[in-house]
Homo-oligomer: A and B are copies of this chain.
Amino acid sequence: MRLGSRSYSEGHLYRARFAVPLDDHPLIVKLSTFMKLTARDLESLEHIFEAEKPVKKGKDLVVDGKEYRNLGFVKDGYALRYKLLRNGKRQILNVLLPGDAIGFPVSFFERSTYSVVALTELKLNICSIDAYVGLCFERPQFGLALSWLAVKEAAIYAERIVDIGRRTPVERLVHFLLELHSRLLTVGLAEKNSFRLPISQEVIADSLGLSVPHLNRVMQHLRKESLISNNARVVEFFDIPALQTLAHYEPLVFAQIPLPMSGRA
């Protein structure tokens, strides 16, 4: 058995020979926002993951139409979940940040209807769905944690629907930027009023259902209004409350998983 692989049989213990250290993993930071993770929790989690996997920029991680049956979590770097249409248009569902899962929603269906591509160099931690399910039978809180993550993903999509369906392009863009900022803050990758935005305007346009020229104009408009600046792929907010109002933005605050107090945890 090579380093990082695992055995899993009949719902009992499955242990990698070597644990993969996860303690400073953005996934752990994220999970900690809605549940208490004990040392034992962490240890269990570390044993179902394979060794950290480096991925080259531009690599296809999930291909539309293919099967994918893993939960991969981004340790470092950025990726895109998107769909390419027959007419050549592209709709981006989500920009995947450190701590985000590769396998939504593909791993839960027979085959994918979306693709995922690495936008930058990536470090990934991967475990199979089988291993994760096994873990859930040992430590049920992880089944719930997965639900929480899936719901958060749904909530992000929901905002995008509202953005694209009924908000003006300015509102859309601001909302999008505020959301990215908030998500990066969660995993400690943003400043209070700014963050690195390693994505082109084309990506933003394809996220928001706009054309690139129009997105560019909206961007300029925001700069002219002195609401944001963006140089060298760094976005700075000059007046967050004003932006939040403009975009009807409401921060999403996770409720805690109401874990039982008993020795079960």
Residues of A within 8 A of B (CB): 10-12, 34, 69, 83, 85-86, 89-91, 93, 104-105, 107-111, 113-114, 129-130, 133-134, 136-137, 140-144, 146-148, 150-155, 157-162, 164-167, 206, 208-209, 248, 250, 252-255, 257-262, 264-265
Contact check: which of B91, B105, B108, B252 meets A161 at CB < 8 Å?
A: B91
Chain B residues lying within 8 Å of A257, measured Cβ to Cβ, are 133
Can you report 21 A-B residue pairs in the complex whose CB atoms are below 8 A from each other? Answer: A11-B262, A69-B255, A83-B162, A93-B161, A105-B155, A105-B158, A109-B254, A110-B255, A113-B155, A130-B258, A134-B260, A136-B143, A137-B264, A140-B140, A143-B144, A147-B150, A154-B154, A154-B157, A164-B164, A164-B165, A165-B209
**Copies of this chain assembled into the complex:** 2
Chain B nearest CB: distance from A39 CB in Å? 19
- Alpha-carbon separation in the docked complex, A102 to B107 (Å): 24
